[in-house]
């Protein structure tokens, strides 16, 4: 029987996505296990969420390192010590070095709160509102050295209404994130998802455009 894959989740904050993954994992223990949660922030609430579930945690304080490279090296060694099959960035607020992303190429995914390629970087909800967009959403992608630019696996869209504020839009996107991220992890764990030739493959076929959440689950 196939063993569950081991995942590491990297966070810097609240960890609501981590919580969604924890809750999903309990329903799918045959697919994956959360072997480790790493935070670069001591007070990240996600660390408490993990500890509540007896998941091993590690705090690596980035302020103690004199360069991005040395922090990433320690991060890499921490992950490499365990048999980790997939690294899940869930609100990990660090730009990663090309060496790090290259080392884990095809084994690391990120969730970004915009419909990439729109709005890489920060303040995505505010930027979508200011641009007068009528829809917004999230993207889950394989991580490559270019910030928020790896091949997108799955997107979920939410409508922007005239009543929306940054807060309400963020909440709408978060709700979809909590459905989308566990699903992509499950696909990877089941061997449905692969990164090859700088492209995303889903069930042995190149994804020419991202999957849409509403097409793949009934909401």
Where does this chain bind ligand GRF (CB under 6 A)?
13-17, 90-91, 111-113, 138, 174, 177
- Shorter beta-carbon distance to ligand GRF: residue 74 or 175: 175
Q: Report the residue number, 13 or 201, with the smaller CB distance to ligand GRF.
A: 13
Looking at the Cβ atoms of 3 and 123, the one nearer to ligand GRF is 123
Report CA dihedral (215, 142, 56, 47) to the nearest 10 degrees.
-80
Q: Which residue, 14 or 76, has its beta carbon nearer to ligand GRF?
A: 14
Smallest distance from the beta carbon of 47 to ligand GRF, in angstroms? 11
- Which residue has the closest beta carbon to ligand GRF? 91
Q: What does residue 45 show for φ and ψ, rounded to 5 degrees?
A: -65, -25
Catalytic residue among 24, 28, 103, 112: 112
Instruction: Mark whether 112 is an active-site residue.
Output: yes
- Min dist CB 174 to ligand GRF, Å, is 6
CB of 191 to ligand GRF, least distance (A): 25
CB of 79 to ligand GRF, least distance (A): 19
Cα-based distances in Å from 206 to 41, 101, 211 = 37, 22, 11
- The residues that are catalytic are 112
């Amino acid at each position: 029987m196939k063993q569950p894959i081991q995942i590491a989740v990297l966070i810097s904050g609240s960890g609501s996505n981590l919580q969604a993954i924890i809750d999903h994992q309990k329903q799918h223990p045959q697919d994956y296990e959360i072997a480790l949660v790493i935070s670069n922030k001591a007070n990240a609430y996600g660390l408490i969420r993990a500890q509540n579930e007896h998941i091993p945690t590690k705090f690596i304080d980035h302020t103690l390192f004199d360069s991005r490279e040395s922090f990433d090296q320690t991060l890499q060694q921490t992950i490499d010590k365990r048999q980790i099959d997939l690294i899940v960035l869930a609100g990990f607020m660090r730009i990663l070095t090309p060496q790090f992303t290259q080392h884990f190429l095809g084994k690391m995914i990120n969730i970004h709160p915009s419909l990439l390629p729109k709005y890489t970087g920060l303040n995505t909800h505010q930027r979508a509102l200011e641009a007068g967009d009528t829809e917004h959403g999230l993207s889950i992608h394989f991580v490559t050295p270019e910030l928020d630019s790896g091949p997108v696996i799955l997107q979920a869209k939410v409508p922007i209404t005239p009543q929306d504020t940054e807060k309400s839009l963020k909440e709408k996107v978060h709700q979809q994130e909590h459905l989308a991220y566990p699903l992509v992890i499950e696909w990877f764990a089941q061997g449905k998802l692969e990164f090859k030739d700088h492209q995303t493959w889903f069930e042995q076929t190149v994804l020419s455009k991202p999957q849409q959440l509403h097409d793949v689950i009934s909401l």
